[in-house]
């Protein structure tokens, strides 16, 4: 299969390129190769003869503030619309889209009195008082987290999440109108080699590791009890390859791409500190209003329909992640030594 891969030089995209190269012909496209998905002429040069598109190009991170909204919308929503229109012009009928667990907002929760409920955004007064778990919208009880399935209603709560959901809606529209096949992979917390560092848009694993390699304690927000599903980037790349053979003509099908084994943010910080021999994490009690408390995936649909289950354990993946970044930092310091 001839596959156009957008975002091919990025953290996840570069791993997908390697995984695809074992079975498929890859057409690499991103800003480093001079291709912006918002440029119809560039896409018209690349799409003839292409069988499928894996769309990874995006502005990532949660967004720092409201000033980020135009750029997120331009790259993620408008860029995807331009790409889909070009695919329709050239008769490309298969799309694998990088989506995200952030489209859910908060994950799934149970109330001791009302069973499964959907909490609203956490209240500032609760966060300031150190009450970090959401409350039941019916009785104010503190809720217990559960796993979120693909049928959960979306509730995006920041610029990135909103534009990721917009991408899914645009892809569904394209699939209906062209009888194309669209698969949206809702990545959970992806980590691994080549993860960006030292940027406000970096993932939490990268932020913690940057601190440790600089001799500082990782600063863990809230009480460190936020539950996440950390999935290795090579597992994510494999899921993309599997998704090329999945889906149904005329619709979009979404899948959680996760390990199925949740860990807290505090556990992540402690594990990285142990791997690097760095200082112990510090729990700050600080919070960000755009953050959600718990988001843990139900991975069964991806297993049943894509044949995907994660193969790299949390312990194995973090050991490799820490070792490779330490090696990179050592090499960089040696290069800079007079």
Q: Is 167 exposed, middle or buried (0-12, 13-18, 19+ CB in 10 A)?
A: buried
> Which residue has 């002429």 as its token pair?
41
> Which residue has 């000033």 as its token pair?
67
Mean pLDDT of 123-143: 94
d(CA 258, CA 312): 11
- For residues 198 and 290, the model is more confident at 290
**Structure confidence at residue 326 (pLDDT):** 59
**Structure confidence at residue 64 (pLDDT):** 54
* Summary mean pLDDT of the chain: 91
d(CA 17, CA 54): 10
31: number of Cβ within 10 Å? 13
The DSSP symbol for 141 reads P
**Structure confidence at residue 60 (pLDDT):** 80
116: number of Cβ within 10 Å? 11
The yes-or-no verdict on residue 200 having pLDDT over 60 is no
The DSSP result for 208-270, as a single string, is HHHHHHTT---EE-TTS--EE-EEEHHHHHHHHHHHTT---TTEEEEEEE--S--EEHHHHHH
% the chain with pLDDT above 90: 80
Distance of CA 31 to the CA centre of its chain: 20
Mean pLDDT of 2-11: 96
The DSSP result for 84-103, as a single string, is HHHHHHTT--EEEEEEEGGG
Structural contact between residues 308 and 238, judged by C-beta atoms closer than 8 angstroms: yes
The yes-or-no verdict on residue 110 having pLDDT over 90 is yes
Q: What is the pLDDT of residues 223-240, one digit of tens each?
A: 999 999 999 999 999 999
In terms of residues, how long is the chain?
A: 338
Beta strands in the chain (DSSP E): 2-6, 25-29, 52-55, 94-100, 108-111, 115-117, 144-146, 181-187, 189-191, 219-220, 227-228, 230-232, 251-257, 263-264, 282-283
d(CA 73, CA 44): 22
d(CA 168, CA 153): 13
d(CA 109, CA 19): 36
The maximal CA–CA distance of the chain, rounded, in angstroms, is 67
pLDDT category of residue 197 using cuts at 50, 70 and 90: confident
Question: Of 4, 13, 5, which Cα lies nearest the Cα of 196?
Answer: 13
d(CA 90, CA 28): 18
The yes-or-no verdict on residue 338 having pLDDT over 90 is no
Which one of 184-198, 247-261, 282-296 scores highest in mean pLDDT? 247-261
Question: Of 14, 43, 168, which Cα lies nearest the Cα of 104?
Answer: 168
Contacts of 88 (CB under 8 A, 6+ apart): 174, 177, 178, 180
**Structure confidence at residue 139 (pLDDT):** 96
- For residues 185 and 206, the model is more confident at 185
Q: Is 76 exposed, middle or buried (0-12, 13-18, 19+ CB in 10 A)?
A: buried
The yes-or-no verdict on residue 107 having pLDDT over 60 is yes
Q: What is the pLDDT of residues 57-98, one digit of tens each?
A: 998 875 556 888 999 999 999 999 999 999 999 999 999 999
The yes-or-no verdict on residue 334 having pLDDT over 50 is no
% the chain with pLDDT above 70: 93
d(CA 2, CA 137): 49
**Structure confidence at residue 199 (pLDDT):** 55
**Structure confidence at residue 332 (pLDDT):** 42
Q: What angle do CA 202, 292, 200 make, to 5 degrees?
A: 20
């Amino acid at each position: 299969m001839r596959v156009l891969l957008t975002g091919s030089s990025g953290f996840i995209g570069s791993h997908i390129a390697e995984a695809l190269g074992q079975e498929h012909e890859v057409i690499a496209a991103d800003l480093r190769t001079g291709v912006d998905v918002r440029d119809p002429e560039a896409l018209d040069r690349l799409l003839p003869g292409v069988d499928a598109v894996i769309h990874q190009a995006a502005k990532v991170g949660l967004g720092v503030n409201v000033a980020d909204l135009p750029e997120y919308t331009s790259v993620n929503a408008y860029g995807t619309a331009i790409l889909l229109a070009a695919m329709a012009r050239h008769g490309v009928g298969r799309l694998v889209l990088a989506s995200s667990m952030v489209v859910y907002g908060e994950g799934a929760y149970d109330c001791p009195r009302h069973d499964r409920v959907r909490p609203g955004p956490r209240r500032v007064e609760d966060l300031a008082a150190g009450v970090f778990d959401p409350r039941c919208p019916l009785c104010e009880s503190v809720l217990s987290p559960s796993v979120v399935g693909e049928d959960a209603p979306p509730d995006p709560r920041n610029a990135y999440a909103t534009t990721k959901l917009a991408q899914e809606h645009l892809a569904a529209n394209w699939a209906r109108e062209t009888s194309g096949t669209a698969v949206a992979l809702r990545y959970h917390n992806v980590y691994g080699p080549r993860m960006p560092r030292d940027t406000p848009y970096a993932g939490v694993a990268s932020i913690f590791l940057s601190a440790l390699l600089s001799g500082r304690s990782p600063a863990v927000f809230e009480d460190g009890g936020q539950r996440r599903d950390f999935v290795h980037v090579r597992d994510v790349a494999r899921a993309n390859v599997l998704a090329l053979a999945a889906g149904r003509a005329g619709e979009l099908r979404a899948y959680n791409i996760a390990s199925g084994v949740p860990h807290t943010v505090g556990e992540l910080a402690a594990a990285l500190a142990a791997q690097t021999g760095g200082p112990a994490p510090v729990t700050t009690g600080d919070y960000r209003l755009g953050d959600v408390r718990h988001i843990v995936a139900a991975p069964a649909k991806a297993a049943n329909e894509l044949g995907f289950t994660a193969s790299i354990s949390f312990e194995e993946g973090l050991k490799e992640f820490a070792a490779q970044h330490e090696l990179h930092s050592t090499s960089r310091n040696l290069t800079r030594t007079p």
